[in-house]
Amino acid sequence: MSGTSVVVQYLSRRYCFTAVCTRKDGNYEATLARRSPGLAQSRKKSSPPSVTPLAEVETFHSTSQVGALLACRRRVLELGGETLSEISTEQDD
């Protein structure tokens, strides 16, 4: 049986975040990946653009999808301050 995962992207002044929430073993698991925005623009022209560095990832668990995503949102506020934009999409597994 296929499931649906919810992907939420958050942009703050300091970071870009991507939260992916999926149902696992009757509960919900949300992974929150954090990247620093604008790394390619801040690099010197003489050096080749580097591959985007690995994101720092944290995992949150809850009995509801809303609870798992709220935990991610609280963490975004802790790490990045004010949220400038939030985009939510659903993906079929």
pLDDT tens for each residue of 5-35: 999 999 988 889 999 999 988 899 999 999 8
pLDDT at residue 49 tops 90: no
φ, ψ (nearest 5 deg) of residue 46: -70, -25
Average pLDDT, the chain: 81
pLDDT at residue 66 tops 50: yes
Global pTM? Answer: 0.75
Q: Give dist(CA 27, CA 86) in Å, integer.
A: 24
pLDDT at 55: 67
